[in-house]
Amino acid sequence: MSYKTILVHLEPTPASEARLQAAVEFAGKLDAELIGLGGRASMIQAAPLAMAEGGSYAVEAWAEDEARSLAEVEATFRRLGGGATWRAVPDYPTDAMCDNAAGVDLIITGLERAAADFAPDAADTVLRAGLPVIALPAGHPQIGFERIVVAWKDTREARRAVSDALPLLRRAGEVAIVSVSTHSGAAATPASIDNLISRLARHGVNAVVEPVSTRRDPADKLISFATSRRADLIVSGAFGHSKAGEWLLGGMTQTLLECSPLPVLFSH
């Protein structure tokens, strides 16, 4: 398996330009095609009441702003992306990303929060795309894969994340399997860890096990470990519980979405 086509969403912001630069470099290292996407919802989708009150003038002004925004983003993409493919879609960005997911192998998006009609929601994209999603912190300059930390818990989502990340794990110089134990018990059984190590070895991945423990949020411990090891990328299953449960009760996915200083490859 390899990533042949990568999709990245762009907005007219400095964080988006940094994301594009990281995506261009990343796609070049993997010899993959890069597709840039600009999605903006129409006024009738995003602000129907304002449209009703403002009439044709409001619709025209919204359309002009939308066109100006997309033109700005496309110009940046053409400048930095070379001959890569550009698509402008008149829809909510998250919907546009997921509607284009069938033709790609990997999605890149940002971790910063923004209005739904302006930028994709990273959590919703992970849940809906059916693909691995690399989420970058705002302004992060690159997507490296020399040192990778895998958040391991023997769940469907974590197993899927390892499978989705294999193209990068095979290229990595260092791979750490991190199982975070808490006061309520171990994150993974020794048998599942042994099985994972054996599986990765058959793919040529020489991974090491790094068991850690904490009495606090396991995601905070994972982030602390990854930053201390100067990791380039975290690989994690996403939303083993419902999204609502993560928001209400907290969870690994939510903490990574809100706090990770590193790119995270999520799989659901």
In a domain, 141, yes or no: no
**Whether residues 11 and 129 fall in one domain:** yes
User: Is the model more confident about 91 or about 265?
Assistant: 265
Asked whether residue 111 falls in the same domain as residue 160, the answer is no
Residue 31 lies in a domain: yes
pLDDT per residue as tens digits for the range 108-128:
999 988 877 788 999 999 999
Smallest CA-to-CA distance from 152 within 229, 215, 207, 111 is with 207
CB-based contact 118:112 (threshold 8 Å) = no
Question: pLDDT tens for residues 49-108?
Answer: 544 455 565 556 656 767 788 888 889 999 998 888 999 888 889 999 999 999 999 999
Is residue 234 domain-resident?
yes
Q: Same domain, yes or no, for 124 and 210?
A: no
Range of the domain at 105: 5-136
**What CATH code is carried by the domain that includes residue 41?**
3.40.50.620
Number of domains in the chain: 2
165: in domain: yes
Are residues 110 and 21 part of one domain?
yes
Which of 106, 138, 95, 124 lies closest to 239, judged by CA?
Answer: 124
In this structure, the answer to whether residues 125 and 173 fall within a common structural domain is no
Q: What is the pLDDT of residues 240-253, one digit of tens each?
A: 755 444 444 347 89
Query: Residues 130, 20: one domain?
Result: yes
pLDDT of residue 54: 53
- Same-domain check for residues 126 and 161: no
